[in-house]
Amino acid sequence: MPPRSILTISIPPFFRCPISLDLMRDPVTLSTGVTYDRCSIEKWFDDGNKTCPATMQLLENFELIPNHTLRRLIQEWCVANSSKGITRIPTPKPPIDLGQVKIILEDIANCTKQIENLKRLRAAATESPRNLKCLVEAGTPTALVSLMSTRDLNTDTANSEALEVFSEAVALLLMLPLDEKTRKLLAGSRHISSLSWLLSKGKIEAKITAATLLENLAADTDVKILASDTKRILEGLMELLSGHSWPSAVKISLKCLLGITRCRRTRIKIIEAGFIEVIVELLPGADRVATEQILAILETLSTCAEGREIITQHALAIPMIVKNLLLLSDIATERAVGVLSTVCLHSPDEAVFHEALNAGAFKKLLLLVQLDCGPRIKNMARELLKLFQRIADDCEASTPSYQIQSL
């Protein structure tokens, strides 16, 4: 999209791309003589079209010839209108070709300027969809996966260069579309170990990229793969959650943690590592998405007796769960009802019910069953209301002055 200020300025028609109608940044000309912005016409061809969009003429030659004269005129126009907020378009770099990529990948495999070459490929990937496609065709994903398995990381934890190499490799992998074969390779225990090592020892940016790739793998494959190095993964996620103020670090940590909770045998480890206490403390200042993620994690962990015990013992947990009923979104409400239902229905301690009632649970649940919500939420809300009413009746029988405070 062009800068906002351009929208208020009359752009010469021949400076606009016939496809996007935006100011051209890298004008290229087809054999038909019509000029387009490179990004737009490449997408047109990638979608399977074989014609010139303007003339609909069937093309035999798909060569894109840079229109240097037009680009220079556009740049001069941008400079002339700089006082109106127009930014001069940068001179585009020539697209990378298949041969170049293969040479770079060979250098990386031979440990020649690995960091420099990986950064070069990352820069190329951000420049255009064509470059991204070229990287994939050259076998970059497979080469990066191979790179991650060439070193015994357990004996190399202090090597800062190795950390940077792996950080660049993982960051580039996240930019590339990965086929099923590549994902299966990444799901191997050796590669999971590499990612957990980066998550544990890398800089903040590297930790975030490692957590992102781990979350992607957990979402697309059998989540049990992460059990091969759960301890180190959890240590890295805990550091991201509690040791940094970066919103992106907290966001991806919660997302990755939610993916890991799908595996039953890792839930106890998550609970024992202290994650319930940490994420409950995040609830007061969390936004909608983070709140939904935290409540979803608590709902899953509450299926374990150990998880329910910690939730009931934490002074902030029940009040915050009740607070999020009918507050942010339908998803948050459903998750909150799920946690409250599981905890209360399995708790032998009546103090939990009184805490929920004092936080206003009865009134909110009563309102919830009257709203147009899903049957699962309504059923859980009804069961909780019956339970709360029974507890209240028992208390009133023994202590006549007892009242449900929220009514």
Q: Which of 84, 103, 124 is the last residue of a domain?
A: 84
- Give domain status of residue 127, yes or no: no
The pLDDT value recorded for residue 402 is 43
- What average pLDDT score do residues 11-15 get? 90
The pLDDT value recorded for residue 245 is 64
Which band of pLDDT confidence, cut at 50, 70 and 90, is reported for residue 330?
Answer: confident
Structure-token pair, residue 65: 């010839």
Q: Which of 51, 84, 117 is the last residue of a domain?
A: 84
Distance CA 105, CA 124 (A): 13
- Give domain status of residue 352, yes or no: yes
The pLDDT value recorded for residue 32 is 93
Residue 407 has pLDDT above 50, yes or no: no
- Give domain status of residue 69, yes or no: yes
Sheet with 27-29: strands ordered across: 35-37, 27-29, 65-66
Domains of the chain: total:
2
The pLDDT value recorded for residue 118 is 92
- Give domain status of residue 39, yes or no: yes
- Give domain status of residue 347, yes or no: yes
Which band of pLDDT confidence, cut at 50, 70 and 90, is reported for residue 85?
Answer: confident
Which band of pLDDT confidence, cut at 50, 70 and 90, is reported for residue 371?
Answer: confident
Residue 200 near residue 232 (C-beta atoms within 8 A)? yes
Which band of pLDDT confidence, cut at 50, 70 and 90, is reported for residue 317?
Answer: confident
Query: CA 380 → CA 9, 70, 177, 334, distances in Å?
Result: 57, 66, 41, 9
Distance CA 81, CA 63 (A): 32
- Give domain status of residue 397, yes or no: yes
Enumerate the β-bridge partners of residue 51: 58
The pLDDT value recorded for residue 190 is 76
Q: Where are the alpha helices (H) located in 81-188, listed in sequence order? A: 98-109, 114-127, 129-137, 140-147, 160-175, 180-186
The CATH number covering residue 22 comes to: 3.30.40.10
- What average pLDDT score do residues 208-214 get? 87
CA nearest 296: which of 265, 319, 275?
Answer: 275
pLDDT in tens, 273-314: 889 999 998 888 888 888 999 999 999 998 888 988 898 888
Residue 78 near residue 88 (C-beta atoms within 8 A)? yes
Distance CA 86, CA 68 (A): 20
The pLDDT value recorded for residue 404 is 45
Other Cβ atoms within 10 Å of 203 Cβ, number: 12
Which band of pLDDT confidence, cut at 50, 70 and 90, is reported for residue 27?
Answer: very high
The pLDDT value recorded for residue 360 is 77
Q: Between residues 360 and 105, which one has the greater pLDDT?
A: 105
Other Cβ atoms within 10 Å of 118 Cβ, number: 23
Which band of pLDDT confidence, cut at 50, 70 and 90, is reported for residue 52?
Answer: very high
Which band of pLDDT confidence, cut at 50, 70 and 90, is reported for residue 35?
Answer: very high
Q: In whole numbers, what is the pLDDT of the chain averaged over residues?
A: 81
Q: Between residues 59 and 390, which one has the greater pLDDT?
A: 59
Sign of the CA dihedral with 125 first, then 128, 129, and 135 last: negative
- What average pLDDT score do residues 259-283 get? 86
The pLDDT value recorded for residue 226 is 59
Structure-token pair, residue 27: 């004008």
Residue 214 near residue 198 (C-beta atoms within 8 A)? no
- Give domain status of residue 322, yes or no: yes
Domain membership of residue 51 as a residue range: 4-84
Q: Between residues 17 and 204, which one has the greater pLDDT?
A: 17
- What average pLDDT score do residues 354-383 get? 77
Residue 4 has pLDDT above 50, yes or no: no
Distance CA 281, CA 117 (A): 42
- Give domain status of residue 132, yes or no: no
Which band of pLDDT confidence, cut at 50, 70 and 90, is reported for residue 56?
Answer: very high
The pLDDT value recorded for residue 222 is 54
- Determine the residue type at 83: S
Phi-psi region of 33 (alpha: psi -120 to 50; beta: other; left: phi over 0): left
Residue 165 near residue 82 (C-beta atoms within 8 A)? no
Structure-token pair, residue 250: 């907290």
Q: Which of 38, 56, 84 is the last residue of a domain?
A: 84
Residue 362 has pLDDT above 70, yes or no: yes
pLDDT in tens, 151-181: 555 544 447 777 888 888 889 988 888 888 8
Query: CA 299 → CA 335, 339, 340, distances in Å?
Result: 6, 5, 8
Other Cβ atoms within 10 Å of 185 Cβ, number: 17
Distance CA 22, CA 20 (A): 5
Q: Between residues 399 and 196, which one has the greater pLDDT?
A: 196
